[in-house]
């Protein structure tokens, strides 16, 4: 599962890395992105402009937007079976910009938060799906979910699931509406290309969006 993540890079780094247009997107460092919050997403709309979307998918057919609280993740193995996701696979794929995510390791009676990154700390993207919900009183809500898969060897002792991380070639294919073999991309990221370290329990509260959240513990 993925229940909290980071995107701490400056706008100019992301513009270069993802070949972006930034109109309408709020590109600022984020140290503790939580469900229900808005975050930058690249949608498969034929361009490289960013959109700010709410984390927690609200399907277009939903009667109540609170359903998004239960749809922050989508299991890769059952995407084609779930009504909320299967209609989005071909038309509404997206990249969720990130440079790390958090997991919690059991230790005694408590849990220690850990930040998981790529070796070298470079930015990356999660494979995601998005949808548009029309508000009864007018207006629209854009929202997204992060796809998860089985954990790799590095993360398996901590949690059985991990978010799908795409390399740059995978990003291009994921955004290509003509690419149909998407299941080939929804696999664990190589363990040898990742690392993690313990961080402060500040991360436990979504109200804390501070640089201290990503600082390694002594």
Query: Of 2, 94, 116, 213, which residue is the catalytic one?
Result: 2
- Please give the Cα distance from 71 to 57 (Å, whole number): 5
Q: Measured between alpha carbons, how far is 11 from 150 in angstroms, rounded to an integer?
A: 31
| Catalytic site includes residue 2 | yes
One of 94, 103, 116, 213 is an active-site residue; which one?
103
Q: Degrees (nearest 5) of the Cα angle 113, 116, 119?
A: 145
The full length of the chain comes to: 218
The answer to whether 127 and 95 have CB atoms below 8 angstroms apart is: yes
Task: List the structure tokens of 157.
Answer: 């002792």
For Cα atoms 30, 35, 39, give the angle at the middle one, nearest 5 degrees. Answer: 40
Catalytic residue status for 23:
no
Return the H-helix or E-strand segment holding 47: none
Q: Which two tokens stand for residue 215?
A: 């600082």
Q: How far apart are CA 102 and CA 6, in angstroms?
A: 8
Whether 44 and 117 have beta carbons less than 8 Å apart is answered as no
Active site residues: 2, 103
């Amino acid at each position: 599962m993925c229940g909290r993540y980071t995107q701490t890079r400056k706008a100019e780094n992301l513009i270069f890395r993802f070949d972006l247009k930034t109109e309408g997107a709020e590109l600022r460092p984020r140290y503790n992105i939580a469900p229900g919050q808005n975050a930058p997403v690249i949608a498969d709309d034929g361009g490289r402009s960013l959109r700010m979307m709410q984390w927690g998918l609200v399907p277009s057919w939903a009667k109540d937007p609170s359903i998004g609280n239960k749809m922050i993740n989508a299991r890769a193995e059952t995407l084609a079976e779930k009504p909320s996701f299967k209609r989005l696979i071909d038309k509404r794929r997206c990249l969720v910009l990130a440079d790390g995510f958090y997991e919690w390791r059991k230790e005694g009676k408590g849990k220690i938060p850990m930040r998981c990154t790529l070796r070298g700390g470079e930015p990356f993207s999660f494979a995601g799906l998005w949808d548009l919900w029309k508000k009864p009183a007018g207006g629209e809500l854009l929202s997204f979910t992060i796809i998860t898969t089985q954990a790799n060897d590095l993360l398996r002792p901590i949690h059985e699931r991990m978010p799908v991380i795409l390399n740059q070639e995978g990003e291009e294919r994921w955004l290509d509406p003509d690419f149909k073999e998407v299941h080939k991309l929804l696999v664990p990221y190589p363990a040898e290309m990742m690392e993690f370290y313990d961080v402060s329990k500040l991360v436990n509260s979504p109200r804390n969006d501070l640089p201290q959240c990503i600082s390694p513990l002594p």
